[in-house]
């Protein structure tokens, strides 16, 4: 992570602090059902948001204009 990119004692300390924070968060989620339910609900909402964002960012389908004469449908 950070310490693999930056070769300093501070980077190693920050990396260890980040890991400890994630471990603590995981322990909190394992012991608190209400908090875990809220996090899961937010995860679902974020997934829906990203799905909608992907739809909006997708390029529109290419319009194909046929070459030649088009016969009327009458």
Q: What is the pLDDT of residue 4?
A: 65
Q: How far is the first Cα of the chain from the last one, in angstroms, to the nearest whole number?
A: 68
Average pLDDT rounded to a whole number, residues 37-53: 93
Which token pair is 22?
């994630």
In this predicted model, which residue has the larger pLDDT, 7 or 44? 44
Helix axes 33-57, 9-31, angle to 10 degrees: 110
Confidence of residue 61 (pLDDT cuts 50, 70, 90): confident
Alpha-carbon distance 57 to 53, whole Å?
Answer: 6
pLDDT digits (tens, 9 = 90+) for 19-30: 999 999 888 888
Q: What is the pLDDT of residue 73?
A: 78
**Domain range summary for the chain, segments of one domain joined by +:** 2-54
In this predicted model, which residue has the larger pLDDT, 52 or 71? 52
């Amino acid at each position: 992570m950070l310490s693999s990119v930056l070769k300093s004692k501070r980077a190693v300390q920050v990396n260890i602090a980040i890991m400890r924070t994630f471990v603590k968060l995981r322990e909190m989620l394992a012991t608190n059902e209400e908090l875990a339910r809220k996090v899961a609900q937010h995860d679902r909402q974020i997934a829906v948001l990203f799905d909608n964002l992907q739809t909006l960012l997708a390029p529109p389908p290419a319009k194909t204009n046929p070459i030649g004469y088009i016969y009327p449908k009458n």
